[in-house]
Amino acid sequence: MKYLYYVYQLLVGLPVLVVSTIITAIEVGIGCAIGNGHFWGYYPGHWWGRIIVHSLLLPVTVEGREHLEEGQSYVFVANHQGAFDIFLIYGFLNRNFKWMMKRSLGSIPFVGFACRRSHQIFVDKRGPKKIKETYDRARDILQQGYSVTVFPEGARSFTGHMAKFRKGAFALADELQLPVVPLTINGSFDVLPRQRGFNFISWHPLRLTIHQPIYPVGQGPQNVDATLRQAYDSVMSALTPEYQGYVENPDQ
């Protein structure tokens, strides 16, 4: 059965991935040039994520959507198990948001183009001025009523376990007094572990758990630290037992 799935990936999954990525990038580029950038910057990517996951026959469970309010901006923070985190969140969170992502992702063919055209937020750490520009862009998005999604670990896991969370997203939420929503991703590491690189995936269910929003209590370093700890514990609590516990990530 495993080898039949490999053949299916070559004949169906890979062509769908390539063609849908190219079409999505073109849609985003043209749409953002002539119309509403917030619409075209989200919905083509939203359907792209769903198409990829469904074309690979991966079952998805989403829990906790009832915790989110219409019209509310959130700072979503998620563990980073693997490459399929992107497809899972983009396709199944069902909220219009911008990604905060590594600057190096802008060099990926078609994907980087679409991200630049749709004004996703590239995290640029090449000095204090660039860092400030990154947070200025994120602040502007949130003040317009949209949300942002961040992987506070900053890098995919090598083991499926969580590493430490960095403070940037929590400081941004604190400054604007916005709620932080923890997201727990399960299954992404099992589908495509980081060590494999671009290789065959393994069939495995994906689960996205949307936790209750964490609203600010006060403002300043104490609130940032408290929110970070609560978010970390929430994300950890919904991980499958196999991936419970902290493991240092040397790529952070």
Please give the model's pTM, rounded to 2 decimal places.
0.91
**What pLDDT, in 10s, does the model give residues 117-147?**
777 877 766 656 666 777 777 778 787 878 9
Decide if 251 contacts 158 (C-beta within 8 A).
yes
pLDDT at 130: 64
Q: What's the residue count for the chain?
A: 252
Helix ranges, the chain (H): 2-8, 14-34, 37-40, 43-55, 84-92, 111-117, 128-143, 168-176, 188-191, 221-237
pLDDT in tens, the chain (252 residues): 889 999 999 999 999 999 999 999 899 888 888 877 788 889 999 999 999 999 999 999 999 999 999 989 999 999 999 999 999 999 999 999 988 877 666 667 777 777 777 778 777 666 566 667 777 777 787 878 789 999 999 889 999 999 999 998 999 899 999 999 999 999 999 999 987 656 899 999 999 999 999 999 999 999 999 999 999 999 999 999 999 999 898 887
Tokens 């992987």 correspond to 151
CA distances from 229 to 2, 79, 176, 232, 245 (A): 40, 13, 19, 5, 14
| Distance from C-alpha of 212 to C-alpha of 68, rounded to nearest angstrom | 8
Question: What was the pLDDT predicted at 144?
Answer: 81
Question: How far from each other are the two terminal CA atoms of the chain, in whole angstroms?
Answer: 37
CA atoms within 13 A on the CB side of 191: 24
Q: What does DSSP assign to residue 75?
A: E
Q: Tell me: the pLDDT tens digits for 42-67?
A: 999 999 999 999 999 999 999 999 99
